[in-house]
Structure 1
Amino acid sequence: MVSRIKDQAFNHSRVMEYMHHLADENGPRLAASPGYQRAAQWAVDTLSKDGIESARIEKFGDFGRSWTWSGISVQMIEPQATTLNAVPLAWSSGTDGLITAPVVFAPLWENPRDTAQTDLVKLAERIDAYKNQYAGKLKDKIVLLSGKRPFKLPSEPETQRWSADDLNGMMSARDPRTEDLYEWPLLKVPFKTADRWLMYEMIPAEIQSDYSDRTARLMNRLIEFLNKEQVAAVAMTNTEGNGAVIFAESFGSNLASGPIPAAAVQLMPEHYNRLVRLVQRKVPVSLSIKVDATFPELNAKGKNVIADLPGGSKRREVVMMGAHLDSWHGGTGATDNAAGVAVVMEAMRILKTLDLELDRTVRLGLWDAEEVGHLGSRAYVKEHLGDPRTMKLKSAHETFSVYFNIDTGSGKTRGILTQGNDMVKPIFIELMKPFEEHGISAAVPRNDWGTDHQAFDAVGLPSFNLLQDQLDYWSHTHHSNVDTVDHIVPQDLMVSAAFMASLVYHAAIRDELMPREPLPPPLPKPQPLPEILQD
């Protein structure tokens, strides 16, 4: 059977056709934006044409404001006329035509590496101090809100594939932690990325999301202050990558209750640093900015795409695969995550084309709003499977077998992270054997975090993210203006699609449901917040 799956994936592939529609035609796909809406409807139509007639859009919740942009121009007027590379930040305003204003350097954190940034109490204190420091000084100014971006020569390759030694190094489990894993609410996380990721491997997804939500609410205080001061615009830059690439997310909130900031732009780091150096030497600097950005809907609904291949003798039991359909808006969302969507749609097509007998129902989920807190997958789980905070479970929880997720760029699948579930490791090792010749062999005994499988894991269901080669995902394309189809490796997606189809097929016909770990407990009652964090 695997040979038939490989034949479809390698000799009749449609992954690049899917990539074209998802990224080149309908990208970017910011959650709730017109691009997302078009992509979601295209996915439903395409799945239906492929014979998967159950394909549908499933609405959830109140997402809030949709946002989209169609153009940007940032020009330095003095001391010398030149064009600056920039991307608007999501959920900030457009300008009323072209605005020209002087620049002031007023960073929230002068040192971009200040470790206090991830401590909520210290962040709140810094925002209060910022308001006292700059009250009455920012009116009609373009505010440089980031610190000067530090640079150093790259010491590692910008494009990487996992070597055999790399994969072997992942095969050891994490050392047990001796200190408390977390507090609830979470008030502080490590600033260093590697330490923060290690912490997030260990704590419940709902607590991670709550921390992010509280951070956003604190930043709303800053936005409210800048609005009160009547700033002309805000300019920032990023610390990711080695330069020349703009990594852009949001400044402002999709929630209808949050303030809408003035036009906010993310500048290429080298261009931003030039402005900072000029201002610090007291050279007058002025910019002209024009941003075409709108809020098409103020009370948009979330929209997931769901499709089923009906099972046979165990049709009430469900095997699921998925990827998030939304993206950020600087590029076309090719590696994050049109690539994952193309893989799971291709896996679904393969299973349908081969007309395989499936004991269990196979379900596809293309998730909305992963980039703003995994909202689509979390809503699906809460609606259909259970509440991760109270652990009140739905009847479908009992008959759910497993969820497979893909969301780490265009790189070829190299294995699976087992989420610490020792019982699935021998199963996955056996299922990977037909793909060892393609470099897929690692059953990594670690948790993964930061994507949609966490929603299922949070209610105790077997859920796994595929391990992929990094390529240039972290150095160039992740949330950046160069996240385009040019960075896609078609052969890698073809291998990943074959493996995903095989995984899902064998999970759908195995005798038993995928082994489960013990259910997580309900979250404890949260502790009172410090006064400075109370809304």
Structure 2
Amino acid sequence: MRMLRWSGLALLGTLTVLPLSAQERVDVATIERIKTEAMERSQVMDIMSWLTDVHGPRLTGSPITKAAGDWAIETMKGWGLENVHYEWWGPFGRGWVADHFHAMMTAPHPFQLIAYPAAWSVGTNGVATGDVVRIAIDSVADFDRLKGTLRGKWVMMDPVPTIEAHWQPLATRFTDDALAGMAAVQPPTQAQQAASRGGRGAFGGGPRGPNMAQLRTEFFVNEGVLGVLVPSTRDGGTLRAAATGNRNPDAPAAVPSIIVAGEHYGRISRLLEKQIPVTVEIDSRVRFTDGDLRSFNILGEIPGTDPALKDEVVMIGAHFDSWHMGTGATDNGAGSATMLEAMRILKALDLKPRRTIRIGLWTGEEQGLIGSRQYVAAHLASRDSTGLQTMPAWQKFQAYFNVDNGGGKIRGVFQQSNPEVAPIFEAWMQPFNAGGMQTLTITNTGGTDHLAFDGVGLPGFQFIQDPLEYGTRTHHTNMDVYERIQPDDMKWNSAVLAAFAWQAAQRDGQLPRKDAR
């Protein structure tokens, strides 16, 4: 794919991009104003601090997530955005808060454990001190074998994770060759387009057959097991989040599920292999909030001004929720802060878009894109046994742009198997070419909220971002904190989102759509 490169010459007014699209016009003058506001008067890192330091983590359903939402709503109102409000959906399930946690190996030697409860895990009901045992449950017959042996014990079932040295840097940016490879990818087959999300399970160890997890849980409760220790899937003392199934208020009784750093899990396991008894004490005080089982999305907008187009909508968005171990900085405070800052920039410049520009901040993304899918089903379209069922707003929807790949610099756009947007996005990227945003890839990317829109035939896009430490250190971990955010990348991303929203709002025609069937 040929990449257009902007010469960097001072341009005034509106640029017509040739020859890729003789009709695609780029409002360079306004985009330069957007870039200046984003780079010289940025508030994005202050927004980040409010979302993470003050209102993090933001586990869906938790009181702190609602407090974060209240802050976001009042902030957007203060900027002058209109129609700012919560949109409630549900039921989602119980909220959950870890009020206090302590974990230590007390024998054979005192040793502080790096550990934390899985989300929605039950607590220990006081300090729970007991020996650790390693067991295997490979079939229902193992329940009879283990009966009467586990009372007052902490149980380990998973294998010790393999932890190797890091021979490559933890933080990386895309090389030119890597970006060229992405641009050269051929359209995926229908089978390859099937999106998949990682597991949300609680306990490891043993088969995942029908009801086996629940049978294990019932067995552990009846046998008086103190809880289950689960190894983190990250190293370097980093804990990667997991969840139990206890957010359902009708969930059966369970035992605590505690995630332990892989290195510490390994030490305990090796001591047990040497027939050296290990005792741990864990105090996990958690709180379920059952008052309101719903969750929410947050919406706000800059109304359109063109009488013929003002009812059409350009939407930018990101998921607002996070996991519970860090403060939800790279996943996805960065995306939420980028969207909020983009809206602030557009409002601060007193721009008057032809179409309405709307922000959507979703919860429930980490549990399966629930918030964004609820929004799409309520306002735009849904699918049933007869196919796609659209609403009037579906026809008037221009595009949705999403950020959820950490805080790394935006380098391009995933086209989501829509080849017809290529010349348009190439034009829109031109003012950002010199800074490294030059890549389009036909590739689909999954696992986040643009899929809710793409799934009903609407233009929904995610951006290519430099990885930084997202996949090596921060994603879903206790190290997902403010310090892992790069301020200059965040400023850049805010400018890109504001510019794309503006271009989409000002364009004469709608963006091309894929076949919605």
Q: TM-score, normalised by structure 2?
A: 0.88
2:302 to 309, 315, 319: 309
Say if 2:187 and 2:442, in contact at 8 Å, map to a contact too.
Answer: no
1:203 to 190, 194, 212: 194
Cα distance, 1:299 vs structure 2? 4.6
How many angstroms apart in 2 are the aligned matches of 1:509 and 1:216? 53
Report SS of the residue matched to 1:55: strand
Report SS of the residue matched to 1:388: strand
* Partner of residue 373, structure 2: 378
* Partner of residue 229, structure 2: 235
Say if 2:187 and 2:443, in contact at 8 Å, map to a contact too.
Answer: no
- Code of the aligned partner of 2:179: L
Say if 1:310 and 1:362, in contact at 8 Å, map to a contact too.
Answer: yes
How many angstroms apart in 2 are the aligned matches of 1:294 and 1:6? 45
How many angstroms apart in 2 are the aligned matches of 1:216 and 1:340? 37
* Partner of residue 497, structure 2: 500
Rg comparison, structure with higher value: 2
Per-residue CA distance 1:472-505 (angstroms, 9 max, x = gap): 0111011111111110100000000000000000
Cα distance, 1:227 vs structure 2? 2.3
Cα distance, 1:311 vs structure 2? 0.6
Report SS of the residue matched to 1:443: strand
Say if 1:105 and 1:276, in contact at 8 Å, map to a contact too.
Answer: yes
How many angstroms apart in 1 are the aligned matches of 2:370 and 2:412? 26
How many angstroms apart in 1 are the aligned matches of 2:483 and 2:139? 40
The change in CA–CA distance for 1:153 and 1:332 in structure 2 (over 3 A counts) is same
Q: Which moved more, 1:168-177 or 1:98-107?
A: 168-177
Report SS of the residue matched to 2:496: helix
* Partner of residue 31, structure 2: 2
Cα distance, 1:175 vs structure 2? 6.6
Cα distance, 1:176 vs structure 2? 5.4
Cα distance, 1:129 vs structure 2? 6.1
* Partner of residue 514, structure 1: 511
Per-residue CA distance 1:121-175 (angstroms, 9 max, x = gap): xxxxx56466465444322211113211112222332111001111001012347
How many angstroms apart in 2 are the aligned matches of 1:341 and 1:487? 15
How many angstroms apart in 2 are the aligned matches of 1:492 and 1:73? 36
The change in CA–CA distance for 1:476 and 1:519 in structure 2 (over 3 A counts) is same
How many angstroms apart in 2 are the aligned matches of 1:386 and 1:137? 54
2:453 to 452, 456, 473: 456
How many angstroms apart in 2 are the aligned matches of 1:176 and 1:445? 8
* Partner of residue 250, structure 1: 243
- Code of the aligned partner of 2:178: D
1:327 equivalent in alignment to 2:356: no
Cα distance, 1:297 vs structure 2? 1.9
How many angstroms apart in 1 are the aligned matches of 2:161 and 2:145? 22
Cα distance, 1:260 vs structure 2? 4.7
| Cα RMSD for the two superposed structures | 2.2
* Partner of residue 412, structure 1: 409
Per-residue CA distance 1:160-197 (angstroms, 9 max, x = gap): 100111100101234755xx83xxxxxxxxxxxxxxxx
Q: Any residues of structure 2 matched to 1:155-174 within 5 Å, and which?
A: 155-174=167-186
Report SS of the residue matched to 1:203: coil
- Code of the aligned partner of 1:230: G
Report SS of the residue matched to 1:261: coil
The change in CA–CA distance for 1:80 and 1:412 in structure 2 (over 3 A counts) is same
Report SS of the residue matched to 2:341: helix
* Partner of residue 24, structure 1: 53
- Code of the aligned partner of 2:161: R
Q: Which moved more, 1:390-399 or 1:255-264?
A: 255-264
Report SS of the residue matched to 1:316: coil
The change in CA–CA distance for 1:243 and 1:107 in structure 2 (over 3 A counts) is farther
How many angstroms apart in 2 are the aligned matches of 1:65 and 1:221? 23
Say if 1:237 and 1:272, in contact at 8 Å, map to a contact too.
Answer: yes
* Partner of residue 60, structure 1: 89
Report SS of the residue matched to 1:460: coil
How many angstroms apart in 2 are the aligned matches of 1:290 and 1:449? 38
How many angstroms apart in 2 are the aligned matches of 1:219 and 1:404? 38
1:224 equivalent in alignment to 2:218: yes
* Partner of residue 360, structure 2: 365
Say if 1:220 and 1:258, in contact at 8 Å, map to a contact too.
Answer: no
Report SS of the residue matched to 2:74: helix
Say if 1:256 and 1:299, in contact at 8 Å, map to a contact too.
Answer: no
The change in CA–CA distance for 1:204 and 1:161 in structure 2 (over 3 A counts) is closer
* Partner of residue 263, structure 1: 256
1:289 to 272, 275, 282: 282
- Code of the aligned partner of 2:84: A
Per-residue CA distance 1:212-240 (angstroms, 9 max, x = gap): 99999764444333223331111111223
The change in CA–CA distance for 1:438 and 1:294 in structure 2 (over 3 A counts) is same
The change in CA–CA distance for 1:286 and 1:351 in structure 2 (over 3 A counts) is same
The change in CA–CA distance for 1:436 and 1:85 in structure 2 (over 3 A counts) is same
Per-residue CA distance 1:427-461 (angstroms, 9 max, x = gap): 11110010012111111110010001111111111
1:350 equivalent in alignment to 2:341: no
Say if 1:308 and 1:363, in contact at 8 Å, map to a contact too.
Answer: yes
The change in CA–CA distance for 1:459 and 1:238 in structure 2 (over 3 A counts) is same
1:275 to 268, 274, 277: 268
Say if 1:127 and 1:221, in contact at 8 Å, map to a contact too.
Answer: no
- Code of the aligned partner of 2:237: A
Say if 2:330 and 2:485, in contact at 8 Å, map to a contact too.
Answer: yes
Say if 2:201 and 2:243, in contact at 8 Å, map to a contact too.
Answer: no
How many angstroms apart in 1 are the aligned matches of 2:136 and 2:43? 47
How many angstroms apart in 2 are the aligned matches of 1:91 and 1:60? 20
The change in CA–CA distance for 1:258 and 1:3 in structure 2 (over 3 A counts) is same
Q: Which moved more, 1:89-98 or 1:144-153?
A: 144-153
Say if 1:204 and 1:458, in contact at 8 Å, map to a contact too.
Answer: no
Cα distance, 1:97 vs structure 2? 1.5
* Partner of residue 399, structure 1: 396
How many angstroms apart in 1 are the aligned matches of 2:57 and 2:200? 27
Structure 2: runs of 5+ lacking an equivalent:
1-29, 203-207
Say if 1:29 and 1:36, in contact at 8 Å, map to a contact too.
Answer: yes
2:106 to 64, 77, 102: 77
State how many pairs are aligned: 479
Per-residue CA distance 1:324-351 (angstroms, 9 max, x = gap): 1100111111111111111000000111
1:94 equivalent in alignment to 2:123: yes
The change in CA–CA distance for 1:145 and 1:98 in structure 2 (over 3 A counts) is same
Identity across matched positions, percent:
37
Cα distance, 1:261 vs structure 2? 2.5
Structure 1: runs of 5+ lacking an equivalent:
109-125, 182-198, 521-535
How many angstroms apart in 1 are the aligned matches of 2:188 and 2:334? 35
- Code of the aligned partner of 1:203: A
- Code of the aligned partner of 1:250: A
